[in-house]
A and B are shown apart, each in its own frame.
Chain A
């Protein structure tokens, strides 16, 4: 039956050979890492610590957030153990988010520097 096979695949028993059970220790390690990174985010925030990296403030905050999100995606959501197709689908979403940001930034910066005749 096609449905039986499909259901099995949907539950991770399909082509990539079985469902991976992530050890509890990995979850705990990721949790600790997330807590440390959250503390780091607070620590590098200027109003709290007085730390000021100038134009890099936002970049640093984004980098920390990206690392945290990657940990959640890879371990908690199991992307690391899934088929590569799932990673590709996720990266497609990231790509289109970048498209949105890229064109908005392009408009905003060229709007400032170019005198419009419209």
Chain B
């Protein structure tokens, strides 16, 4: 890919305007990306603290540091914060906002004001959700299953209204990205010259726009049921609680792909950049993103195998769920083929990308296991499921967030972080992750139920190992925070393209100027023309 060269003028998006007010009212996609970055990091810290509290409670059977009611609340806040406030906005809203317009050669997103509103929706939604803390907390888990969520005397109404508002953040971001990718690509930037990160974001945006409204309405129905006593999901009022699960998972399963598709985009960028090699199967990876997005709408019923759903529906959902493995495997095989005979550099982003490949594959394969009805009947609601989705969400998405953050850090801040300590964070997070969650596969297979406050003495050793692993992850992320802050405030100045990558964002100065490029880029080749 070639683009018009840019000359440093000293002006960049960080110093273009000054003062807190300029940040809170900014329409610059890069600054909005930074606002998302700060919010997501704060929410991640909160969600992480709740995770540490849970693992500390589970370090031994019986009461350790809290009672069962408190445990239920801690578990709920960990899940809701991590899903709605960290992983869903993590890559699209932070990295996507910052990087995507640069990658397609645009000055900004299509609707800058809508972009800022979407950040405020996340903030207001989070505020409303946290108001539930003053109303006895929430103890339903992040899935708000009925009829319990209708009857519990806790702050469920605030939490679901908060999630409802946060949903608008997701919808508006998705809408903005679809229009931006369709309308604002630079001259010569055809769809087939778009970096795969943009393809990942585009597929994600389709899901965000199509699925999130269903969750919004479902959560609103819970609020209506709690406030007005309308009988939609409550069986005592003639409602159907399984219908709630249908509605909820119609969004929440595709939401898993909202979390993982942009992560896959990041991995495509990082693997090709640090293998210094053209990506293998560009079109196959691009189409598989769209394929995953499409299939994701037909598989939600695998969450309901033992919820009272009919056997006919269960068999159909089981079969379709297996199909997701096809486009996903296409990606994994293509990434592996890209590595083959590449000049691989084990820089921190690449380490996290390779960690992603390893962990996500385990998460994916165990997902196929759980899609098999006969097996799921036994493993459903055990720690096997907890381990599976953490391998996908943490081993997949969070590893990709770290890979992407370390990859684009010099572009975002114009500075370089400490490579040695960044590698240490990878080792701690990767080892800690496996020590935490692999024992949970065994615990689940042994029959330990998820969401329980207590367990049998036979499960003690594995739970203890799991908790020690969690502390190791915590230490890893704490060091990562220090590495990031040290890089931002005291890191060495980075060149425009320190990794020798080929996509368009690396052709502008670091940090980028307010308008992204000094002169309009003209694209004449594909995104990964290494050799």
Contact = CB atoms under 8 A, between A and B. Distances in A.
Interface of A: 1-3, 6, 9-10, 92-93, 96, 99-100, 103-104, 106-111, 114, 116-118
A3 B312 contact: no
Interface in B210-245: 210-211, 214, 240, 242-243
B310 A110 contact: yes
Interface in B160-202: 179, 183-187
Majority-rule SS of B interface residues: helix
Given A10-B183, A99-B298, A103-B246, A3 B310 contact: no
B310 A2 contact: no
B110 interface: yes
Contact of B310 (A9, A92, A99, A107): A107
B423 interface: no
Nearest to B104: A2
B313 A2 contact: no
Nearest to A109: B310
Contact of A107 (B242, B306, B377): B242
A110 B246 CA distance: 15
A103 B313 contact: yes
A6 B183 contact: yes
A1 B211 CA distance: 35
Given A96-B297, A99-B298, A114-B310, A10 B179 contact: yes
27 contacts: A2-B106, A2-B184, A2-B187, A3-B106, A3-B107, A6-B183, A9-B183, A10-B110, A92-B210, A93-B210, A96-B211, A99-B298, A100-B246, A100-B250, A103-B246, A103-B300, A106-B310, A106-B313, A106-B316, A107-B246, A108-B310, A109-B310, A111-B308, A114-B310, A116-B308, A116-B311, A118-B306
Contacts of B185: 2
Majority-rule SS of A interface residues: helix
A117 B311 contact: yes
Contact of B240 (A106, A108, A114, A118): A108
Interface residues of B, number: 37
Contact of A110 (B186, B187, B312): B312
A116 B310 contact: yes
Contacts of A117: 311
A103 B246 CA distance: 9
Given A107-B301, A111-B313, 6 more contacts: A103-B313, A108-B240, A109-B310, A110-B313, A111-B309, A116-B308
B520 interface: yes
Contacts of A100: 214, 246-247, 250
A104 B244 CA distance: 10
B105 interface: yes
Contacts of B520: 1-2
Nearest to A3: B107
Given A96-B297, A118-B306, A6 B184 contact: yes
A92 B304 CA distance: 25
Contacts of A107: 242, 246, 301, 304, 309-310, 312-313
A102 B521 CA distance: 47
A3 B187 CA distance: 10
A99 B297 CA distance: 8
A62 B311 CA distance: 30
Nearest to B184: A6
Contacts of B305: 118
Contacts of A106: 310, 312-313, 316
A52 B214 CA distance: 32
Interface in B356-406: 377
Contacts of B304: 107
Contacts of A116: 308, 310-311
Contacts of A110: 310-313
Nearest to A106: B313
Nearest 7 CB-CB pairings of A with B: A110-B310, A111-B310, A110-B312, A107-B313, A6-B183, A104-B246, A6-B184
Contacts of B310: 106-111, 114, 116
Contacts of A103: 246, 298, 300-301, 313, 316-317
Given A96-B297, A111-B308, A2 B246 contact: no
Nearest to A14: B183
Interface string B489-531: 0000000000000000000000000000000100000000000
With a 10 A CB-CB cut-off, give which of A6, A10, A116 has the most chain B CB atoms.
Answer: A6
